[in-house]
């Protein structure tokens, strides 16, 4: 019986996975920080935030959940919007302060837009990793 | 303040950020993470220069 108790305890989550996911989304690296993985949290925070900041400084436009009439345009706009949104608080802050550069034909703005989406996608990887740590699927 | 980075510089930034995060989330030990991060960065660079030269040869 003691062995069963130990095994049952070992498989219990360290923290609420929901809380970890929420914090990891809002603050890049926040999920890892909550789980005591400070070094990894700092690196994730720096990478996601810097990618987002470089994108904003390059005046990359944010994707909007709308789109053109055709399916491909809608797919690109909605997918990009989800990518932007996944960055968490950085996205919410710039949206709150009305960041909306014009969607120009400049290649620099286009690269910036991609860096902003990349920040969100990297944060999604970090969220999944934090969830796996919280549910003890990995350390 | 506005940054005007070119394609190469933007690609390098993307490669660095992606390599670090990929190294962190895919491996289990610090040693493995560092090695995988460097491996990913090398792959990004190889793709960047490889595709760059391919386009140059293709377009003449």
Evaluate if residue A22 carries a pLDDT over 50: yes
Q: What per-residue confidence (pLDDT) applies to B59?
A: 84
Provide the total of helices (H) and of strands (E) in chain A, helices listed first.
7, 0
Q: Which residues of B touch A (CB under 8 A)?
A: 1-5, 7, 10, 13-14, 16-18, 20-22, 24-25, 28
The pLDDT value recorded for residue A13 is 55
Task: Name the residue among A97, A95, A89 with its Cα closest to residue A119.
Answer: A89
pLDDT at B46: 97
Sign of CA dihedral B19, A58, A25, A36: positive
pTM: 0.88
Write down the pLDDT at residue A67: 66
Residue A47 predicted with pLDDT over 60: yes
Tell me the ipTM for this assembly: 0.91
Q: What is the pLDDT of residues B3-37, one digit of tens each?
A: 889 999 999 999 999 999 999 999 989 999 999 99
A117 at the B interface (CB within 8 A)?
no
Q: Does A102 touch chain B (CB under 8 A)?
A: no
pLDDT number for residue A73: 87
Cα A102 to Cα A36, A89, A118, distances in angstroms:
41, 22, 20
Residues A24 and A125: their CA atoms lie apart, in Å, by 10
């Amino acid at each position: 019986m003691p062995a069963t108790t130990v095994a049952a305890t070992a498989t219990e989550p360290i923290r609420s996975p929901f809380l970890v996911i929420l914090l990891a989304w809002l603050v890049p690296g926040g999920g890892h920080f909550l789980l005591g993985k400070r070094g990894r949290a700092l690196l994730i925070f720096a990478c996601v935030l810097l990618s987002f900041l470089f994108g904003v400084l390059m005046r990359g436009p944010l994707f909007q959940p709308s789109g053109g009439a055709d399916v491909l345009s809608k797919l690109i706009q909605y997918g990009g919007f989800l990518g932007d949104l996944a960055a968490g608080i950085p996205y919410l802050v710039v949206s709150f302060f009305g960041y909306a550069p014009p969607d120009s034909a400049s290649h620099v703005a286009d690269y910036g837009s991609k860096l902003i989406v990349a920040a969100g996608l990297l944060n999604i990887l970090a969220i999944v990793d934090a969830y796996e740590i919280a549910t003890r699927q990995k350390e | 303040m506005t940054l005007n980075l070119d394609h190469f510089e933007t690609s390098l930034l993307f490669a660095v950020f992606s390599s670090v995060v990929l190294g962190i989330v895919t491996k289990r030990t610090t040693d493995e993470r560092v090695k995988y991060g460097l491996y990913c960065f090398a792959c990004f660079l190889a793709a960047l220069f490889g595709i760059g030269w391919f386009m140059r040869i293709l377009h003449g």
